[in-house]
Homo-oligomer: A and B are copies of this chain.
């Protein structure tokens, strides 16, 4: 299945700016992208990164089989427009193409595993959604030419409504790993707790000095030197 991975290459992860410099945010974003690409290839699919700025996949230091399966294309449009252009009913598609399903997986799903993705990709509904926290849509599969995304606002509810309007069947996939997008400092805990052995994002965060801090029973992440400041 074609798996589109949108990537905001220019201003990655601005909501992490209280704990990471711009260069660090970029490094973490690229590490998470690498982990997502590995998970997609591990599930047996070929990821296409749709990047808002030029991106050289060679610089991600991907394993050979992942680099061989992945491709990248530039699209400066909004997330919604860039995704819709690549859905079954999108601009590059014609009615005679038949309907090849398309999956869309966000680049910051640092906990994604081949198993979690396969549970989504193996659905049969016209539209299958793995919701994110806060009403978001973290990953979906589209098999209906009338369906289009709208990522603004409570996209999970909007996508349910759009599916209903176009007569598409809908399934919701229940996955903590796919529901966990890494946007805010509190989300970094999830990367450190649940990141897979050998994954890039937890390694990157640990190199930056982050560690789990549960001294007073509440769990947070701390960074080298934070302890003395309290």
Beta-carbon contacts of A164-202 to B below 8 Å, as 1s and 0s? 000000000011111110000010011001100000000
| A219 touching B135, Cβ below 8 Å | yes
**A173–chain B nearest beta-carbon distance, Å:** 9
Does any Cβ of B come within 8 Å of A225's Cβ? no
User: CB of A94 within 8 A of chain B?
Assistant: no
**Size of chain A's interface in residues, with CB distance under 8 A?**
30
Contact, CB under 8 Å: A153 / B217: yes
Determine whether the beta carbon of A189 is less than 8 Å from that of B134: yes
Q: Which residue of B lies closest to A132 (CB)?
A: B176
For A91, the chain B residues whose CB sits under 8 A away are none
Residues of B contacting A116 in the complex (Cβ-Cβ under 8 angstroms): 174
Cross-chain contact of A157 among B131, B157, B193 (Cβ < 8 A): B193
Cβ B154 vs Cβ A219 within 8 A: yes
- What is the bound-complex CA distance between A76 and B179, given in angstroms? 35
Q: How far is the CB of A118 from chain B (nearest CB, A)?
A: 11
User: A136 within 8 Å of B by Cβ?
Assistant: yes
A193-B135 contact given A174-B116, A179-B176, CB 8 Å threshold: yes
CA distance in complex: A133, B190 (Å): 7
A133 to B116, CA, bound (A): 17
Interface string of A104-121 (1 = CB under 8 A from B): 000000000001100100
Contact of A135 among B131, B135, B189 (CB under 8 A): B189
Contacting residues, chain B, for A130 (C-beta < 8 A): 176
Q: Is A152 an interface residue (CB 8 A)?
A: yes
Q: Taking the complex as formed, is A214 at the interface, i.e. its CB lies under 8 A from any CB of chain B?
A: yes
User: B179 contacts A219, CB within 8 Å?
Assistant: no
Q: Does A70 contact B (CB under 8 A)?
A: no
Q: Which residues of chain B are within 8 angstroms of A125 by Cβ–Cβ distance?
A: none
**Residues on B with beta carbons closer than 8 Å to the beta carbon of A178:** 176
Shortest Cβ distance from A202 into chain B, in angstroms?
A: 13
A150-167 vs B: 1/0 string, CB under 8 Å? 001110110000000000
The 7 residue pairs across chains A and B that have the minimum distance between CB atoms: A153-B214, A176-B179, A135-B219, A135-B193, A134-B219, A154-B214, A176-B176
